[in-house]
């Protein structure tokens, strides 16, 4: 490989990037825009849940139970109702997300050391939030019962994310999603642009080899993608206050490997498309959408059907998201995370080998 020819291609591509402010803005600003949008918009926390109360007992004990919900900080008393029909209508029009129904005789049963049942009606439209709301509500009720009668005490401790902040879970996953969104797109468009303008025919006729052309063409985008990961990591830790339990150097090293993988995907896309529009659409279809659905970023992979769990292995974001969360949140190192790194390395080598083979075939 002639390094002088590679350097010439790098210089040519760098000049084209600098002369195109839209590309530069897309490469450097959009990842931060995505980080802030998803960092603030995606929240699985349960706070300030609108709550309705149907108190049919109207005693100090029933009022104390309702007050405990409000004092917990998770629930907000939106309204009190007089009939079950009013509660049903409030749930239907989204006025409340949960309703506490206290039947008559609640205080008398507690005084007699009997079981005093209450009813919790939870809006299950969004199941993930509904499960959390129901769990918090059941905990408050069980603790109230424990004040008046013996019960089995459970002391739970949450490891790795003790505050249960959803942003702490979301941000490390966003690293993998953002880096699979832009580097493949930019790389695919860069080579597709050469095809549309016809300048790639000059490359085919010149002494430069396919490997030298691809190396020179890709290196500027590898550098841009690495700057992207540094930016999103710095902002994620400093702005969103996400704790870093593991090694920053190891995270950056794995990020660099992931960058090569995503750029390789863009190269592969460019070998099967002839126009920038087709390259853009195909890059988005095989990178951005799967990274949301099949990387574990939002939806846990272990809850998916088995055949879909196997399908997720086709996408590199899964391996980097596992690595990122394991290192950032759990403080894991290479002994624990080497399978993700090894699979990501194999994926990168396979993508580059296939892309270079297809490109050389077209040159020939």
Which residue did the predictor score with more confidence, 364 or 218? 218
pLDDT in tens, 155-178: 556 677 777 677 888 888 888 888
Q: Please tell me the number of Cα atoms within 13 Å of 136 on its side-chain side.
A: 24
The predicted model gives 303-307 an average pLDDT of 82
Which are the contacts of 266, defined by CB distance < 8 A and separation ≥ 6? 183, 184, 185, 186, 187, 188, 191, 221, 283
Per the structure block, which two tokens stand in for 41? Answer: 């918009």
pLDDT at residue 157 in the model = 60
> What CA–CA distance (Å, rounded) separates 52 from 85?
12
- pLDDT of residue 152 exceeding 50, the answer is no
pLDDT at residue 73 in the model = 84
**Average pLDDT score over the chain:** 81
Contact 286, 279 (CB under 8 A): no
> What CA–CA distance (Å, rounded) separates 254 from 258?
6
The pLDDT > 90 percentage for the chain reads 16
The predicted model gives 90-100 an average pLDDT of 87
> SS3 letters for the chain?
CCHHHHHHHHHHHHHHHHCCHHHHHHHHCHHHHHHHHHHHHCCCCCCCEEEEEEECCCCHHHHHHHHHHHHCCCEEEEEECCCHHHHHHHHHCCCCCEEEEECCCHHHHHHCCCCCCCEEEECCCCHHHHHHHHHHHHHHHHHHHHHHCCCCCCCCCCCCCCCCCHHHHHHHHHHHHHHCCCHHHHHHHHHHHHHHHCHHHHHHHCCCCHHHHHHHHHHHHHHHHHHHHHHHHHHHHHCCCCCCCCCHHHHHHHHHHHHHHHHHHHHHHHHCCCCHHHHHHHHHHHHHHHHHHCCCCCCCHHHCCHHHHHHHHHCHHHHHHHHHHHHHHHCCCHHHHHHHHHHHHHHHHHHHHHHHHHHHHHHC
Which residue did the predictor score with more confidence, 202 or 249? 249
Which residue did the predictor score with more confidence, 344 or 9? 344
pLDDT at residue 320 in the model = 93
Which residue did the predictor score with more confidence, 319 or 153? 319
Domain boundaries, given as residue ranges, for the chain? 3-42+165-363, 49-148
The predicted model gives 143-147 an average pLDDT of 65
- pLDDT of residue 295 exceeding 80, the answer is yes
The predicted model gives 26-55 an average pLDDT of 79
**For the ranges 162-171, 203-212, 265-274, 296-305, which has the lowest average pLDDT?**
203-212
The pLDDT > 70 percentage for the chain reads 88
pLDDT band at 145 (very low <50, low <70, confident <90, very high): low
- pLDDT of residue 146 exceeding 80, the answer is no
- pLDDT of residue 27 exceeding 80, the answer is no
Question: Closest by alpha carbon to 355, among 297, 273, 275?
Answer: 273
pLDDT in tens, 314-351: 889 999 999 998 899 888 889 888 999 999 999 999 98
pLDDT at residue 154 in the model = 43
**CATH T-level assignment (fold) for domain 49-148:** abc type-2 transporter like fold (3.40.1710)
Which are the contacts of 193, defined by CB distance < 8 A and separation ≥ 6? 276
pLDDT band at 153 (very low <50, low <70, confident <90, very high): very low
Which residue did the predictor score with more confidence, 103 or 359? 103
The predicted model gives 69-80 an average pLDDT of 90
pLDDT in tens, 191-231: 777 777 766 666 666 667 767 777 777 888 888 888 888 88
């Amino acid at each position: 490989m002639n390094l002088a020819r590679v350097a010439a291609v790098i210089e040519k591509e760098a000049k084209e990037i600098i002369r195109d402010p839209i590309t530069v803005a897309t490469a450097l600003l959009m990842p931060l825009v995505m980080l802030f949008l998803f960092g603030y918009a995606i929240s699985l926390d349960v706070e300030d849940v609108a709550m309705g109360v149907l108190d049919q007992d109207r005693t100090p004990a029933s009022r104390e139970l309702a007050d405990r919900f409000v004092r917990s900080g998770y629930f907000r008393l939106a309204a009190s109702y007089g009939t079950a029909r009013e509660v049903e209508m409030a749930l239907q029009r989204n006025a409340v997300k949960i309703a506490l129904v206290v039947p008559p005789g609640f205080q008398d049963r507690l005084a007699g050391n009997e079981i005093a049942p209450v009813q919790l009606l939870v809006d299950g439209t969004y199941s993930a939030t509904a499960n959390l709301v129901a769990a918090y509500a059941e905990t408050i009720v069980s603790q109230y019962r424990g004040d008046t009668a013996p019960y089995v005490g459970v002391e739970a401790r949450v490891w790795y994310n003790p505050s249960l902040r959803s942003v702490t879970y979301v941000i490390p996953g966003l690293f993998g999603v953002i880096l699979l969104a832009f580097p493949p797109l930019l790389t695919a468009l860069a080579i597709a642009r050469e095809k549309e303008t016809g300048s790639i025919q000059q490359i085919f006729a010149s002494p430069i080899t396919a490997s030298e052309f691809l190396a020179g063409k890709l290196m500027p985008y590898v550098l841009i993608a690495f700057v992207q990961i540094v930016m999103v990591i710095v902002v994620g830790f400093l702005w969103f206050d996400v704790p870093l339990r593991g090694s920053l150097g190891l995270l950056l090293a794995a990020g660099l490997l992931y960058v090569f993988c995503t750029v390789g995907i863009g190269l592969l896309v460019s070998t099967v498309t002839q126009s920038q529009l087709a390259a853009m659409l195909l890059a988005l279809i095989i990178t951005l959408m799967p990274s949301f659905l099949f990387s574990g970023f939002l939806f846990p992979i272990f809850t998916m059907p088995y055949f879909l769990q196997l399908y997720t292995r086709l996408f590199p974001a899964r391996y980097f998201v596992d690595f990122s969360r394991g290192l950032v949140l759990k403080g894991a190192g290479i002994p624990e995370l080497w399978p993700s790194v090894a699979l990501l390395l194999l994926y990168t080598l396979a993508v580059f080998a296939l892309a270079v083979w297809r490109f050389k075939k077209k040159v020939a």
